[in-house]
């Protein structure tokens, strides 16, 4: 805020009726205004203030208010660019038709289990050849044969993550955790799916649980990065809220002074 404007407003406040301003029910206003006025440089006389103002006006360059706005704008742009970097690799949720999940009430025979196991092996072979769509179909066939085996859903979810289809992966992992909540794989792949969506908090939560159940370096490294991005996002949000609160407090001072003056005149 311009120093001349601040000084003029302080002078107006000083000219208010002192008994009115010093009353007990106005104490919160005095304290609020006083806390902000502590940031205003003091002057021993009106001449000192005028000299300070004149010296400021003689300085070359942009006006103070424009410089402050420019600096604030630069800080905001830097913070936003940092968040954009954090969102690199983020994908939009796919709108594809979700694959079959199998019949939960199906009575699975030993022969069906063997067939499902064969389909699973073929699916992994397809993944090794980067034939991901074929792998999805083979895992789906295995799931239809043995729909109560949680690892099949987690395996198919891992392929969906490679195909950058997070919604389908999350759906499969949700199913897998319902069947077996103590398996690390569904949490690992669901955490990676949330990562693709830029949902860092949910990603960190699942990745942490996966590490607790079955630690591996890859998952732990991803967990640390997710936690860093969560912290960065929270700090950005906190800084933005503090700046907004400070702006509202400063912008509201003239209104407070005007209200006090109007109340005094009305008495």
3-state secondary structure of 96: coil
Question: Which domain CATH number covers 216?
Answer: 1.25.40.10
Domain residues for the domain of 145 are 110-229
What is the pLDDT at residue 14?
47
> What pLDDT is stored for residue 40 in this prediction?
47
Q: Is residue 7 part of a domain?
A: no
Tell me the C-alpha distance between 154 and 143, whole Å.
11
Give 25's DSSP letter.
G
249 lies in some domain:
no
Task: Kindly state whether residue 204 falls inside one of the protein's structural domains.
Answer: yes
| Token pair belonging to 267 | 């008495």
Evaluate whether 157 touches 143 at the Cβ level (below 8 Å). no
Q: Would residue 77 count as lying in a domain?
A: no
C-alpha neighbours within 13 Å on the C-beta side of residue 108: 19
User: How many domains does the chain contain in total?
Assistant: 1
- Which residues of the chain are modeled with pLDDT < 50? 1, 3-4, 6-7, 10, 13-14, 16-17, 29, 33, 36-37, 39-47, 49-62
Q: Considering the domain boundaries, does residue 121 fall inside one?
A: yes
Largest CA distance in the chain: 99
Cβ-based neighbours of 267, under 8 Å, separated by 6 or more = 20
- Residues 6 or more apart whose Cβ sits within 8 Å of residue 12: 257, 261
CA dist 247 and 240 (Å) reads: 11
Kindly give the interhelix angle for 132-145 and 150-162, rounded to the nearest 10 degrees: 160
**Lookup result for tokens 């499969």:** 172
Residue 109: CB atoms within 10 Å: 11
Helix (H, G, I), strand (E, B) or coil at 213: helix
Distance of CA 27 to the CA centre of its chain: 38
d(CA 11, CA 29): 16
Report yes or no on 153 lying in a domain: yes
Q: Taking the chain, what is the end-to-end CA distance rounded to the nearest angstrom?
A: 32
Contacts of 47 (CB under 8 A, 6+ apart): none
Does a structural domain hold residue 192? yes
Residues 172, 159: Cα–Cα separation, whole Å: 11
Asked if the structure places residue 74 within a domain, the reply is no
C-alpha distances out from residue 37 to 9, 15, 53, Å: 11, 16, 17
Which residues are CB-neighbours of 227 under 8 A, at least 6 positions away?
204
């Amino acid at each position: 805020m311009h120093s001349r404007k601040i000084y003029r407003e302080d002078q107006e406040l000083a000219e208010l009726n002192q008994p009115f301003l010093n009353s007990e029910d106005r104490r919160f206003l005095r304290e609020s205004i006083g806390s902000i006025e502590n940031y205003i440089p003091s002057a021993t006389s009106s001449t000192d203030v005028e000299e300070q103002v004149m010296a400021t006006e003689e300085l070359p360059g942009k006006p103070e208010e424009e410089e402050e706005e420019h600096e604030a704008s630069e800080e905001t742009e830097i913070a936003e660019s940092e968040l954009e970097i954090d969102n690199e690799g983020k994908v939009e949720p796919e709108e594809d038709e979700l694959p079959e999940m199998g019949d939960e009430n199906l009575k699975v025979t030993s022969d069906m289990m063997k067939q499902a196991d064969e389909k699973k092996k073929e699916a992994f072979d397809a993944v090794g050849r980067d034939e991901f769509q074929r792998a999805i179909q083979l895992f789906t066939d295995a799931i239809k044969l043995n729909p109560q085996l949680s690892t099949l859903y987690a395996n198919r979810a891992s392929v969906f993550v490679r195909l950058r289809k997070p919604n389908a992966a999350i759906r499969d992992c949700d199913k897998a955790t319902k069947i077996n909540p103590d398996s690390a794989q569904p949490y690992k792949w669901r955490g990676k799916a949330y990562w693709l969506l830029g949902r860092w908090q949910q990603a960190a939560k699942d990745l942490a649980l996966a590490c607790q159940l079955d630690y591996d370096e890859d998952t732990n490294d991803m967990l640390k990065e997710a936690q860093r991005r969560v912290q960065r996002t929270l700090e950005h949000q906190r800084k933005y809220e503090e700046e907004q609160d400070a702006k509202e407090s400063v912008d509201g001072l003239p209104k407070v002074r005007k209200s006090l003056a109007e109340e005094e005149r009305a008495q």
